[in-house]
Structure 1
C-alpha cells in the first residue's frame, strides 16, 4: 500500500531532497523499515500514521537510527512526564483560556514564503497569578503536535521562534525551574522531530539574563549558536525576520492575533479525538529490552538524557 502522506509542494520537495536527503522513490521502503523496527519493540506503542512517522524520518534527515532514537525518546518522556509532554485534551482545565489570549501563536505565512514556520510567545499576555508555566506549555505542546501532523513547512524547514517579554515580570520567568528547563530542553532537542532553526528574545526584562544563563548551558553548542538576544531593539529582530512576516500587532502583514487564534480554535476542535487517543500511546518500561532507565539520575542537575542508549 502506498504511504498515506500529503504530497509536498515543488519548493518543499526540493528542500526535502536537498536538505533532508529525502528520496521520493525510497520513501515507502524507508517507512516500512521504520515500522518493522517499531513492531519489534515490546515496550513501545506509538502512533503508526504514515504522516506522523515520516516527520521523524524528515526530522532526522532520513537516518533510520536517529529516527528510532528520537521516536523512543518522544514516547519515553511523554509516558514518564505526562504533565510536561502528554496532551490528551484541549478542552479541559485552562487550556482554551490560555489559547484564546493569543500569547502563543504560529503565523500563517512562513518566513520568506517557503521557509521555516514562525512562532511567537508573548509571555506577558498570560497573567502569572492565574496560569502556570506548565499550563502554558501544554498549549505549546499541542500546537507542536498539530504541526508535526500537518505543517510541512515546520517539519521540513523547521521553526523560527520569537519570545517576546513585553509586559512580563520576573515572576513569569522564575516559574521555570532548572529541573523544568532541563526537561524541556532535552525534549526539544532529542525527542521533537521539528527542528528549531533560531530563537529570538525581544523586549527582555530584569531577571532575563539569569534565566537565559540557566537555559543556555543545557543546550548543545549547535543550539546555543541559534539563540539571539535583541533586548528592546526591534530592528535587530527584523534584520533576520523582515517586518512583513510578523503579525499586524507588530506592524507586519502576517495575520492578526485574533484571526490566528480563531483559525487555531477550529484546528483544536478538529483534533479533539486525536489528542484523546494520545492516552493509548506511550512506553511500558517493564517491557523495555535491556537495563531500565534511571530517570532521576538522567534528569538530576548532573544527569544527562544523552546516557540513554537506544538500539
Structure 2
C-alpha cells in the first residue's frame, strides 16, 4: 500500500507523520482492514450516502473514510454515526460554527495547550496532549478549549492514513482541583458528542503530575462517566513513567523526549488551523437537511437537549 499524507497544507504534513509500513500493518489488523475491504466498504458507503436525500453531498471523503475505520468497518455503525454527526452540527454552533483563529482563540490555545504528537506509538496509537498553562481561572474558557479540540480532531480526520486508537495525556503540573473539575465537567458535557457523533476509539487516559487534589477530583466525577472511560485512567507522578511506557522518540522535549516542545507544537497547530480556515467554512455547510430527513430517523439522532449530562449533574459548576 502506498502511504499518503492526505493533507493539503504543508504544516500538517510536517506535524503528523504517515505511519511506517510496520505501523500500518498493526493498525490495519487492529481495525480489520485490508485494501480490498477498504475499497469495497467505500463503494458501499459512498453509494449509500448518495442515495440519502437528507445527507450532504459536499462531504470530505477522507473525513467519512475515517468514520468507517473508527467503526472497524461496521457499516451500520458507521452510517449511524455519520447521520448523527451531520444532524447534530447545527445544534452545536459553539463547536462547529465560526471556526476562525482569532485572538481569543489564540489566547485560549496558549492558556490550554491541546495537540496530537507527530509520531504514533509502536502499536499505532495516536497521543493527544492536554495541558493547562494558565493559573488564572478567569482567563480560561474550557468550552472554547473544547472547540479547539474538535477543530484539531476534524483536521486529523482529513488524514488519509489510519490510526488504531487514541491515547489522551492530561498534564496537571499547573492545575488546581478547581481547574480539573471545571475541565472535566466541560468534557463530560460533551462526552456524548464524542461517543455518538464521532468514531473515536479511546484506549487510555494518562494523568501526569497528578497531585492528590487532582486524583480526588477525578474520583468525584468517575461515577457519572461511562464504564470504559472510568476504567481507562492511569495516573503518573512524573513524566519518567511516560518515557518508560511510550519511549523518548515520540514524546515532547518537555518530557525528556526527542519531539518538539509544547510551545513549538502549539504554534504548529495554530498555523495548521489557520491554513484550514477555508476548509472549516466549507464544512459548516456539510449538514443534514432536516426537512428531507425521514420522520422515523429523527429519534435516532442526538440533538442538543439529548447530549450532555444526566439529571442534576448538568447544572454542576465550580466557582
CA distance in 2, matches of 1:116, 1:127: 33
CA distance in 2, matches of 1:174, 1:218: 13
For 1:268, the equivalent position in structure 2 comes to 273
The alpha carbon displacement at 1:58 in A equals: 0.7
CA distance in 2, matches of 1:268, 1:5: 17
Count of residues in correspondence between the two structures:
294
Q: 1:263 to 1:93 in 2, by over 3 A?
A: closer
Q: Which runs of 5+ in 2 are unaligned?
A: 7-17, 313-319
For 1:79, the equivalent position in structure 2 comes to 90
TM-score (norm 1): 0.80
CA distance in 2, matches of 1:176, 1:161: 14
TM-score (norm 2): 0.79
For 1:200, the equivalent position in structure 2 comes to 206
Q: 1:151 to 1:206 in 2, by over 3 A?
A: farther
RMSD value over aligned CA atoms? 3.1
Cα-to-partner distance string for 1:209-229 (whole Å, 9 max, x where unaligned): 454245434444333332212
Alignment equivalent of 1:257, drawn from 262, 265, 277: 262
For 1:308, the equivalent position in structure 2 comes to none
CA distance in 1, matches of 2:268, 2:306: 42
1:1-311 aligned within 5 A: 6=6, 9-45=20-56, 47-83=58-94, 85-92=95-102, 94-100=104-110, 103-112=113-122, 115-125=124-134, 127-150=136-159, 152=161, 155-176=162-183, 178=185, 180-205=186-211, 207-209=213-215, 211-213=217-219, 215-230=221-236, 232-291=237-296, 292-293=298-299, 295-297=304-306, 299=308, 301-302=310-311
Cα-to-partner distance string for 1:59-89 (whole Å, 9 max, x where unaligned): 1111111111111222233221221x31542
Q: Which runs of 5+ in 1 are unaligned?
A: 304-311
Q: Conserved in 1, the CA contact under 8 Å of 2:170 and 2:205?
A: yes
Cα-to-partner distance string for 1:145-190 (whole Å, 9 max, x where unaligned): 11111273xx422222110111122332333475x44442222223
Q: 1:125 to 1:246 in 2, by over 3 A?
A: farther
The alpha carbon displacement at 1:56 in A equals: 0.8
CA distance in 1, matches of 2:57, 2:106: 26
Q: 1:176 to 1:8 in 2, by over 3 A?
A: closer
